[in-house]
């Protein structure tokens, strides 16, 4: 979004700027290439005492051109990441980088997972608005935390089984752990004013970071989300009287490194569908079209 929409917006803004600077140059009697725009002014680079306010320059431009309108566009350079076909293909000329440190505690008696703190560092290119970037990083960390702790996408017959916030639980502000955002700046030559992105990128490392922290705490790998108390107790052998411990929780066949992951996921889906068809007493629900 920042790269594509940001560059397109910049392109449109530069076209509008040219109209405003042209009007100011005519008013001040100086070449347009000598004019700078800053501090709410359009002024002569060689003689800053010659200036017109940006508002007045915009009024002058409107008196000449009418309502100031411009359209901008941006297309990534060719040859980035190969040749793609089809709608929606937008290869990015830049990549951002993230890292997350998760601090967690696990109650081995109840299976309760508590995420105490998330520290996320994100390379956003140039931070045009540092406060907004920090907010974006914290928001992404919150979303990743929700996905691995409480959120779960469950479908039946192609329909979501939890279609409202009453059923689909989200962490509240009181549930959210302490969040720390570290903004790592770099200047990307292709990005708008050197920026890259600060949207969905910081979410990516949060989920594996929490999963790794849980593994460090109790020695169990989780290959599926959310990591619930029930799954933790199952792994620790405390869910029933069998006392069978596990070192990995997830779809069968994903943990041994040998099975086909697609086949394992299909088998998991079939098992889930069969389980969801059952009701109390082992009765099937009535068939529907």
Provide the CATH topology of domain 2-65.
Aldehyde Oxidoreductase; domain 4 (3.30.365)
pLDDT for 122 equals 97
As a whole number of angstroms, the distance between CA 185 and CA 199 comes to 15
Q: 39-53, 122-136, 202-216, 263-277 — which is least confidently predicted?
A: 263-277
Indicate the DSSP class of residue 81: S
Strands (DSSP E) found in the chain = 35-38, 41-44, 51-53, 98-106, 113-125, 155-156, 159-160, 178-185, 221-222, 248-249
Residue 10 and residue 193 in contact, taking contact as beta carbons nearer than 8 Å? yes
More reliable by pLDDT, 118 or 234: 118
At residue 251, the pLDDT reads 76
Which of the residue ranges 10-14, 78-82, 114-118, 170-174 would you say has the lowest mean pLDDT? Answer: 78-82
pLDDT of 86 > 80? The answer is no
pLDDT at 285 over 50: no
Q: What is the Cα–Cα distance from 245 to 251, expressed in whole angstroms?
A: 16
**CA–CA gap between residue 255 and residue 91 (Å, rounded):** 32
Between 257 and 189, name the one with better pLDDT: 189
pLDDT digits (tens, 9 = 90+) for 205-221: 999 999 999 999 999 99
> What's the pLDDT at 229?
94
pLDDT bracket for residue 90 (50, 70, 90): low
Residue from 22, 26, 62, 200 carrying the catalytic annotation: 200
Please indicate whether residue 151 is annotated as part of the active site: no
Pairwise pLDDT comparison (120 vs 166), residue with the higher score: 120
Once rounded to an integer, what is the mean pLDDT over residues 5-10?
93
| Domain spans in the chain, listed from the N-terminal domain onward | 2-65, 98-220
Strand, coil or helix: what is 189?
coil
Count of CB atoms situated within 10 Å of the CB of 46: 9
pTM equals: 0.77
Mean pLDDT, to the nearest integer, of 61-71? 94
- Model confidence at 84, pLDDT cuts 50, 70, 90, reads low
- Residue pair 169/150 in contact by the 8 Å Cβ criterion: yes
Contacting residues for 15 by C-beta, under 8 A, at least 6 apart = 70, 71, 72
- Say whether the peptide bond before residue 226 is cis (omega within 30 degrees of 0): yes
CATH class (in words) of the domain with range 98-220: alpha beta
Q: What distance, in Å, lies between the first and last C-alpha atoms of the chain?
A: 40
Q: 220-271: per-residue pLDDT in tens? A: 999 999 999 999 999 998 876 667 788 888 876 455 545 555 655 565 555 5
Can you give the pLDDT at residue 68?
94
């Amino acid at each position: 979004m920042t790269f594509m929409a940001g560059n397109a917006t910049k392109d449109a803004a530069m076209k509008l700027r040219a109209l405003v600077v042209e009007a100011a140059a005519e008013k001040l009697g100086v070449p347009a290439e000598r004019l700078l725009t800053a501090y709410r002014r359009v002024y002569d680079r060689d003689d800053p005492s010659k200036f017109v306010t940006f508002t007045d320059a915009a009024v002058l431009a409107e008196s000449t051109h009418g309502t100031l309108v411009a359209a901008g566009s941006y297309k990534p350079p060719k040859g980035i990441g190969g040749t793609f076909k089809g709608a929606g293909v937008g290869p990015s000329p830049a990549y951002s980088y993230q890292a997350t440190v998760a601090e967690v505690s696990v109650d081995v008696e109840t299976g309760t997972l508590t995420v105490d703190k998330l520290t996320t560092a994100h390379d956003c290119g140039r931070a045009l608005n540092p406060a907004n970037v920090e907010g974006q990083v914290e928001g992404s960390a919150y979303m990743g935390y929700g996905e691995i702790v409480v959120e779960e996408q469950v479908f039946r017959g192609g329909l979501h089984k939890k279609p409202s916030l009453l059923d689909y639980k989200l962490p509240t502000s009181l549930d959210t752990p302490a969040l720390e955002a570290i903004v790592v700046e770099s200047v990307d030559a292709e990005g708008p004013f050197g920026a890259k992105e600060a949207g969905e990128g910081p979410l990516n490392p949060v989920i594996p970071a929490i999963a790794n922290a849980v593994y460090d705490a109790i020695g169990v790998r989780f290959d599926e989300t959310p990591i619930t108390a029930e799954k933790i107790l199952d792994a620790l052998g405390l869910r029933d009287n069998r006392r069978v411990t596990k070192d990995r929780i997830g779809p069968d066949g994903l943990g041994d490194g040998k099975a086909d992951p697609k086949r394992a996921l299909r088998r998991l889906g079939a098992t889930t569908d069969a389980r969801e068809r059952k009701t109390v007493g082992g009765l099937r629900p009535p068939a529907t079209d």
